[in-house]
Amino acid sequence: MSVTVKMIEAMLEELAPVETAESYDNVGALVGRRDAEVNRILVALDCTLDVVQEAKDLGAELIVSHHPLLFHARKNLLEEDAEGKILCEMVRSHLSLISAHTNLDQTDLSGSASCAKLLHLQNIRKASDYLFLGELEKPMKAIELESRITQALSFPVRRYGSESALIATLAIAGGADDGDWTAAQALGAQALLTGEVRHHNALAASMSDFVLFDGGHYGTEAPLVPFLAEYLQKRLNDVQYNVRVYPSQYAPFGSV
Ligand SMILES: [Zn+2]
């Protein structure tokens, strides 16, 4: 029995139901054919032209991405803009796309939960829709935690706040979620790791003796890729299907 795009869509639906996504979002099966046969799947953060090429090189029929294509409504499909080019190339190459975005952000395979695992936090828990919390094995100075995060994410991290602040509980909201720092503080965390820190939040947090770590949108969400690929591979192995799942090796910003 062959595996189809529709069956992978159902596996993702069990993990991250489409109805839990934000109303502005665009998730689920977005490109291709639900009845297309799948033997190889490529999991990526973004479905870029390079990722489409990577899928073609692997002989994959399906890309599973975190960030969706067609996030904004289109009125044409011309190859004159980046997304139009990607969509046309996918159709030409018989590639399908499923995206799991804000619905995935609320699961333990989110970028936030994945960062928490890479940092070996203890008692990792979901504190609100998009905020995860965990404890360090012992309180650590912010400057020490900064280098630990940089190492764990393999991505440079910027710290806003005192280098000597002691952090016992770290909140994580991957991607663009710096506004959650007040919620994180109210939940007992001393710092928040997120992906896009705006100046007014950096200033307000540091005046409240709270530390913000900016690990970049890519840096704080790319860690979900191998975990999501592992999840899909396990689910497929459970039913003994001969389908391979590959985490994308493509780094959109080069090695940093
Ligand atoms: Zn994101």
Q: Which CATH number fits the domain that encloses residue 213?
A: 3.40.1390.30
Q: Are residues 46 and 89 in the same domain?
A: yes
25 alpha carbon – ligand 1 mean position (Å): 11
241 is a domain residue: no
The pLDDT value given to residue 254: 75
Which of residues 64, 80, 101 is at a domain's end?
A: 101
Q: Are residues 79 and 14 in the same domain?
A: yes
Q: Are residues 10 and 47 in the same domain?
A: yes
In percent, how much of the chain has pLDDT > 70?
A: 99
Which of residues 101, 134, 161 is at a domain's end?
A: 101
* Mean pLDDT, range 214-239, rounded to an integer: 96
248 is a domain residue: no
104 alpha carbon – ligand 1 mean position (Å): 10
Query: What are the b/e assignments for 37-61, b being 16+ CB within 10 Å?
Result: ebeebbbbbbbbeebbebbbeeebb
Is the pLDDT reported for residue 4 higher than 90? Answer: yes
| Domain hosting residue 157, numbered range | 111-220
Q: Are residues 66 and 120 in the same domain?
A: no
1 alpha carbon – ligand 1 mean position (Å): 35
228 is a domain residue: no
216 alpha carbon – ligand 1 mean position (Å): 10
Q: Are residues 18 and 96 in the same domain?
A: yes
Decide if 91 contacts 123 (C-beta within 8 A). no
**Angstrom distances, CA of residue 234 to CA of 21, 61, 99, 191:** 24, 19, 19, 34
> Near ion ligand 1, which residues have CB within 5 Å?
175, 221
Q: How confident is the model at residue 220 (pLDDT cuts 50, 70, 90)?
A: very high
CA triplet 79, 84, 87: central angle to 5 degrees? 115
The pLDDT value given to residue 251: 86
Is the pLDDT reported for residue 1 higher than 80? Answer: no
Q: Are residues 162 and 88 in the same domain?
A: no
pLDDT in tens, 99-151: 999 999 999 999 999 999 999 999 999 999 999 999 999 999 999 999 999 99
242 alpha carbon – ligand 1 mean position (Å): 31
The pLDDT value given to residue 240: 73
Q: Are residues 92 and 118 in the same domain?
A: no
34 alpha carbon – ligand 1 mean position (Å): 25
23 is a domain residue: yes
167 is a domain residue: yes
pLDDT in tens, 91-106: 999 999 999 999 999 9
Structure tokens, 79: 């190859």
Which of residues 50, 74, 101 is at a domain's end?
A: 101
239 is a domain residue: no
Q: Are residues 216 and 122 in the same domain?
A: yes
Is the pLDDT reported for residue 70 higher than 90? Answer: yes
Global pTM value: 0.95
Is the pLDDT reported for residue 71 higher than 70? Answer: yes
Is the pLDDT reported for residue 241 higher than 90? Answer: no
* Mean pLDDT, range 66-84, rounded to an integer: 96
Q: Are residues 117 and 173 in the same domain?
A: yes
Is the pLDDT reported for residue 19 higher than 70? Answer: yes
The pLDDT value given to residue 255: 66
SS3 state at 99? strand
* Mean pLDDT, range 84-95, rounded to an integer: 98
254 is a domain residue: no
Q: Are residues 80 and 162 in the same domain?
A: no
Q: How many domains does the chain have?
A: 2
Q: Are residues 28 and 87 in the same domain?
A: yes
20 alpha carbon – ligand 1 mean position (Å): 16
186 is a domain residue: yes
Q: How many C-beta atoms surround the C-beta of residue 19 within 10 A?
A: 7
